[in-house]
Chains A and B, each alone.
Chain A
Amino acid sequence: MTPPPLLLQATGLIKSYPGVRALKGVSLTLRRGEVLAVIGENGAGKSTLMKILAGVQQPDGGSIAVDGREVRLSSVLDAQALGIALIHQELNLADNLDVAANIFLGRERLKRGLIDTRRHLEDARVHLAAVGLSVDPATSVGTLSLGQQQLVEIAKALSVDARVLIFDEPTSSLSSSEAANLFRVIEELRSRGVGIVYISHRLGEVKALADRVVVLRDGENAGELPKSGIEHNAMVRMMVGRDLSQFYAHEPHPPGPVALEVDGLRTAAHPEHPLSFRVHAGEIVGVAGLVGAGRTEMLEALFGVTPPVAGVVRVAGVEVQPESPRDAIRAGLALVPEDRKRQGVILQMAVRENVSLAALQRDSRHGFLDRVREDGLAAAMIGSLRIKTPSAEQPVQFLSGGNQQKVVLGKWLAMKPKVLLLDEPTRGIDVGAKHEIYRLMEDLAREGVAILFVSSELEEILGLSDRTLVLHEGRITGELSRNALSEEAVLHLATDTEALA
Chain B
Amino acid sequence: MRKILGISALLFVVCVVTASLSNSFLSAYNLENLIRRTALFGIISIGVAFVIVTGGIDLSVGSVVCLVGCGVPWLLTTHGWSVPAALAAAVVASLGIGLFHGLMITRLRLPPFVVTLCGLLLYRGIARGFTRDQTVGFGSEYKGLRAMATGEIPIPFVSGFSLPAPWIFLLVVAIVAAVFLNRTVFGRHLLALGSNEQAARYSGIKTGRMTVLAYVISSGLAGLGGLLFVLDVNSAQPVDFGNFYELYAIAAAVLGGCSLRGGEGTIVGVIVGAALMQVLRNMITLVTTHNNIEFAIIGAVILAGVTADELVRRMAARKRARQEAAANAA
Contacts and interface: CB of A to CB of B under 8 A. Distances in A.
A298 to B, nearest CB: 16
B192 A347 contact: no
B185 A369 contact: yes
Interface in A128-159: none
B205 A357 contact: yes
A326 B204 CA distance: 4
Given A16-B324, A17-B321, A360 B329 contact: no
A18 B321 CA distance: 5
B204 to A, nearest CB: 4
A348 B263 contact: yes
B27 to A, nearest CB: 42
Given A60-B325, A357-B192, A398-B320, A344 B185 contact: no
A364 B202 contact: no
A358 B321 CA distance: 30
Query: Which of B203, B264, B325, B328 gathers the greatest number of chain A CB atoms within 10 Å?
Result: B203
Interface residues of A, number: 36
A424 to B, nearest CB: 14
Given A325-B203, A411-B203, A21 B328 contact: yes
Contacts of A398: 320, 324
Interface string A326-343: 101110000101000011
Contact of A344 (B202, B204, B206, B317): B202
A360 B187 CA distance: 11
Given A349-B192, A357-B192, A369-B188, A16 B198 contact: no
Interface string B304-330: 000000000000010011001100110
Contacts of B321: 16-18
Interface string A361-402: 100100111000000000000000000000000000010000
B183 interface: yes
A21 B324 CA distance: 9
Nearest to A335: B202
B199 A325 contact: no
Contacts of B126: none
Given A16-B325, A357-B192, A367 B202 contact: no
B143 interface: no
A357 B187 CA distance: 12
A349 B195 contact: yes
A342 B325 CA distance: 25
Contacts of A348: 195-196, 263-264
B100 interface: no
B17 to A, nearest CB: 34
Nearest to B189: A360
Contacts of A353: 188, 192
Interface in A298-344: 303, 305, 324-326, 328-330, 335, 337, 342-344
B257 to A, nearest CB: 13
Interface in B81-119: none
Interface in B261-298: 263-264
Nearest to B263: A348
B320 A343 contact: no
Contacts, number: 89
A305 B203 contact: no
Contacts of A411: 203
A361 B186 CA distance: 9
Contacts of B205: 326, 357
B192 A346 contact: yes
Nearest to A336: B202
Contacts of B264: 348
Contact of B199 (A18, A328, A329, A346): A346
A346 B328 contact: no
A347 B189 CA distance: 15
A398 B324 CA distance: 9
A16 to B, nearest CB: 4
B24 interface: no
A201 B272 CA distance: 54
Contacts of A337: 202
Contacts of A226: none
Tell me if B's interface is mostly helix, strand, loop or mixed: helix
B168 interface: no
Nearest to A61: B329
Contacts of B328: 16, 20-21
A346 B324 contact: no
A30 interface: no
Interface in B159-210: 183-186, 188-189, 191-192, 195-196, 198-206
A65 to B, nearest CB: 24
B191 A349 contact: yes
B319 to A, nearest CB: 11
Nearest to A60: B325
Contacts of A330: 204
A368 B184 CA distance: 4
A364 B185 contact: yes
Nearest to B317: A18
B204 A343 contact: no
Given A16-B328, A305-B202, A368-B183, A346 B188 contact: no
Given A345-B199, A364-B185, A398-B320, A358 B325 contact: no
B198 A367 contact: no
Nearest to A362: B185
B309 to A, nearest CB: 16
Contacts of B325: 16, 21, 60
A19 interface: yes
A66 B255 CA distance: 50
Contacts of B185: 360-361, 364, 367-369
Nearest to A303: B202
A411 B202 CA distance: 11
Nearest to A349: B195
Nearest to A17: B321
B192 A325 contact: no
A328 B205 CA distance: 12
A324 B196 CA distance: 17
Nearest to B261: A348
A19 B328 CA distance: 8
A116 B200 CA distance: 51
Contacts of A324: 201, 204, 206
Contacts of B329: 16, 21
Contacts of B198: 342-343
A349 B201 CA distance: 15
A344 B328 CA distance: 26
25 contacts: A16-B321, A16-B324, A17-B321, A18-B317, A18-B321, A324-B201, A324-B206, A325-B202, A326-B205, A328-B204, A342-B196, A342-B198, A343-B199, A343-B202, A344-B202, A346-B196, A353-B188, A353-B192, A357-B192, A357-B203, A360-B189, A367-B186, A369-B183, A369-B188, A411-B203
Interface of A: 16-21, 60, 303, 305, 324-326, 328-330, 335, 337, 342-349, 353, 357-358, 360-361, 364, 367-369, 398, 411
Closest 5 CB pairs of A and B: A16-B325, A329-B204, A326-B204, A357-B203, A346-B196
